[in-house]
Amino acid sequence: MKSSLVTSAFLLGVLVAGCAASPAATPGPAGPQGPPGVQGASDRDRDRDRDRDREREKAREAQAAPCPVGEHERTDNGETHCVRN
C-alpha cells in the first residue's frame, strides 16, 4: 500500500509538472512574399555580380580614349596625353 501511495504521488507530480509547462510555440501565419528572384542565386551572389559589374563599368570609363591617327599616348606626372608622333 505504501508503494502504491508513493507511486501515485509521483505520477500526480509528473502530471502537474507536465500541465504547468508552457505549450510549444506554434508558428503564426506566413508573412507577405517578397519579389521573385533568380532561382538558385542567393543575395550574396547577386551582390557580388552587381559589384563586379560596377567595377567593370568604372574600369571602362577610366580608360582613356585612343589617340587620333598620327598621335600616341604619353604619361606625364600621372596624366595621359596624346602627343604627335
Q: Which residue stretches of 21-82 are H helix?
A: 43-62
Residue 50 has what pLDDT? 86
Residues of the chain below pLDDT 70 = 18-24, 37-42, 63-65
Quick one: pLDDT at residue 19? 65
The pLDDT assigned to 68 comes to 83
Give the model's pLDDT for residue 43.
73
* Residues 71 and 84 sit within 8 Å (Cβ to Cβ): yes
